[in-house]
Chains A and B, each alone.
Chain A
Amino acid sequence: RKEVEQDPGPFNVPEGATVAFNCTYSNSASQSFFWYRQDCRKEPKLLMSVYSSGNEDGRFTAQLNRASQYISLLIRDSKLSDSATYLCVDRPKGNQFYFGTGTSLTVIP
């Protein structure tokens, strides 16, 4: 079983739509989670950390559900510039980073 699993998509949504991605993790002891964004042929960039109580940054909301072992990312009012691949990351121990395969999002005009 993979440490982190994501639905690869693709998700094609119209501008202004709300879209949500989920990511499941296998290690119940994991403490640190992150969402990264990767544009085509570029390196991943940190989008936001995921806190236990949930956190929001503008149009982006991240949630952690420990009981079901998943994290989620909600994007409201989608913009064309949100088109990218979104990667969830689980950092169960200090020297390990596990990336999901990424979820592809295309926002359509």
Chain B
Amino acid sequence: GAVVSQHPSRVICKSGTSVKIECRSLDFQATTMFWYRQFPKQSLMLMATSNEGSKATYEQGVEKDKFLINHASLTLSTLTVTSAHPEDSSFYICSASKDLNTEAFFGQGTRLTVV
């Protein structure tokens, strides 16, 4: 399958700082990238859908000013958690899809811990 790389895999930051997570499709161009959050023993929660060159579409209840998404190219999307707080600690996963009806491939995930 296609390869999606997510970086960093693990990050610890202080409250009030911002953290940027990168998601890259390595061997294909991703028209759409998705960002998810997953708390322990819970299901994936879609945060936003990111299309190259346009604004991301956020799911209800997700603050767009807190979770900044930039999809600057067909192979890169970034998620910035601004002014992080301990309750933002979670597993963040991105996925990318080649086109409109095919499967999505996931990055390895980023485990964020805010202290």
The answer on a CB contact under 8 Å between B43 and A102 is yes
Across chains A and B, the number of contacting residue pairs, with CB separation under 8 Å, is 54
Cβ of B21 under 8 Å from chain A: no
List B residues 44-61 near A (Cβ within 8 Å): 44, 46, 49, 51, 57
Cβ of B93 under 8 Å from chain A: yes
Q: Is the interface of A mostly helix, strand, loop or mixed?
A: loop
Chain B residues, CB < 8 A from A87: 43-44
List B residues 23-54 near A (Cβ within 8 Å): 32, 34, 42-44, 46, 49, 51
Given A94-B101, A95-B51, verify A43-B106 contact (CB < 8 Å): yes
Cβ of A34 under 8 Å from chain B: yes
Minimal Cβ-Cβ distance residue in B for A43: B106
The one of A44, A45, A95 that contacts B32, using a Cβ cutoff of 8 Å: A95
A contact residues vs B (CB 8 Å cutoff) = 31-32, 34, 41-46, 49, 87, 89, 91, 93-102
